[in-house]
Amino acid sequence: MGIRLYFYLAPSEGLSALILEHIELFVVWFEDLHLEYPDEFPEDVLVSAKKIEHDGIVALQAQTVQQAALIDNFVMYFCVDFDNSYQILKSASESWIKSYHYIECRPWLEVHCSPAFETLWIFMLKGRGIERDSSLLPFEHEPHERGSIAYWTPQECTEMLNDRRPLTIPEAEPIFCVRIVREALQTAVDQQASIVILVN
């Protein structure tokens, strides 16, 4: 597991608001790339994007596993490829480490963290679908494993930052992971923003 984990800021209304703000530009950008590189920029993502452009936030609300997979794949293209071109996501922390360090924190989390904090930490690693309850309809990975996207709402950021149990390090535990998370949470709280987490 050599992939990295990054924290970004999103509007307080969430990633959906950012998508709706830029969806028209995304459609134009993706359509051009689909014509030139149809295997790398598949038609189903373009279809999803046009549906979002037409129907708005309703088109991001998956009701089935199949819909979730299409929406999650679109979100990955939006947050990775599209952002690489337009830099719409602003960093919440300049620090990053490989995701396996966060995975190795799980035994520590089980002992020292509140259940709510642990749930959000797991979403961070496994992905969290927007506009749905991901405990019921999990984030769907593509076969090629592009990575995952998750988010924490402004309220969740505040609650996590104020939960002194998980943010107080006993003994020589994974202090660098917690420091990065604390930095990202503090930035989000200071700016009244939500957090988007990219594992890629």
Q: H-helix or E-strand containing 10?
A: strand 4-10
Would the pLDDT of 132 be above 80? Answer: yes
Q: How confident is the model at residue 169 (pLDDT cuts 50, 70, 90)?
A: low
CB of 7 within 8 A of CB of 197? yes
113 vs 172, higher pLDDT: 113
pLDDT digits (tens, 9 = 90+) for 78-95: 999 999 999 999 999 988
For the stretch 43-58, pLDDT in tens is: 999 999 999 999 999 9
1: confidence class by pLDDT, cuts 50, 70, 90: very low
Q: Which residue has the tokens 């035994």?
A: 107
Residue 37 has pLDDT above 90, yes or no: yes
Mean pLDDT along residues 143-169 = 79
b/e 131-142 (16+ beta carbons within 10 angstroms → b): ebebeebbbbbe
Task: Give the pLDDT of residue 178.
Answer: 81
